[in-house]
A and B are shown apart, each in its own frame.
Chain A
Amino acid sequence: MIVETISNTLIVLSLLFMFFGVYGIFRFTDFYSRILISSKVETVGFLTLMAGIMLKNGFGYSTLKIMFICLVVIVTNPLSTHAVARSALVSGYKISKENEG
């Protein structure tokens, strides 16, 4: 019973995190701000959601597989975000004037 409550709380918290990420990519006006907010908040939301689901699932092979997917996402999500930001920087994308400083 208490485990169910904790896992539901974690899942609602992860939905809140992901809402901040989705709101941030509309609120900010510059590309680098958008990619900063989205990468961090997305990774935290994913991990919190998976923690809630693993807690709800209990012990077993499914939980082990979800943990392996979490490891893969921890490695690959910042790498792909870094690749996109590096692509923008190398291609010569400049921060617009009103966002400097």
Chain B
Amino acid sequence: MAGITAERISVIYGKRRVLREVSLEVAAGKTLVLFGPSGAGKSVLLRAIAGLEPNTQGLVRIAGADVSALGPERRGVGVAFQNFALYPHFSAFDNIASPLRAQGVVAGEIGRRVEKIAALLKIGHVLNQFPRELSNGQRQRTALARALVGEPKALLLDDPLRNVDAKLRYEMRLELPRLLRGFGAAVIYVTQDFREAMALGDEVAILAGGELLQLGTPETIYATPNNVAVARLFGDPPMNLLAVETETRGGETVAAIAGFRFRFVASAEAAGKALLGIRPDALALVPAGTRGAAPMTILADTPLHDRHVLLVRAKDGNELVVSSRVPATSDEVWVKPDVALLFAQASGLHMATAVQERAMA
């Protein structure tokens, strides 16, 4: 297929395997977000695909051709890094032109293409300046322009918005998808920011400890993380996870905690110790005594943008984070969940989703 295919990529440093048989595919014109905590192996995977990681095992195809044995400059990939990695002694123009010069493109053609991409990224007016004279945002756009100017079939972006301020990050988050769509390249985009992953990814790959934990659309991963590690990582504020003792009887598994009672379709695996996951935005403030709700005490309200992020304590001492559009009107509130997930405590695997809940009588 056109685009990027990585098959069973492993990277080993001495005795340490930093990447374990990761396989993924990105179609031309699509963006795959590589998401995970620091140390997960995201940048290593990107470097392996770019050909910058000498200890790589596995197969890399770009636009259908096996490039595993090729050097980075012959793979047809564009790369931008979070620290921008601009040549300090080159002007913005020469930085952007550098991949074209390496390919031996003629001078007139270089000028035309650099100016075109610079106009698209709104840095046409700073092409004669050196990196030290550019603002952080302009540096980041210059690095992006350099990655895009060769019109690569594969574009690898390593957390490119990490080092720019919040306002610029927001602007680029809006602008990037439109920009990338115009190029038709297959894009792999590394980030640790949940909202960036939601906004930019056609698909998201969750990486932790060098392993691919889940691959799917952002919506699927948010709604049904297949693993407690994914549930913990993907969301802001993250999913509440409570240790719970379940009981299985009469065709259902029941988890009672924090004043809630959840019923799951029974499975032998679900009996005993488990972790119950509830998204903060799946918890709502409701009138006192509402069926299925439980009373809680508010410890603090720590707003996030226009939402109220409430830290609440249940009668059994468990703490929960509630993300509400409306503020709480008193310190004692009633909270009602609308969906919950059950994870095996030992393996962390997702076992069941509660479809129905009842108040503890």
Are A and B subunits of one complex? Answer: no
A residues contacting B by CB (< 8 A) are none
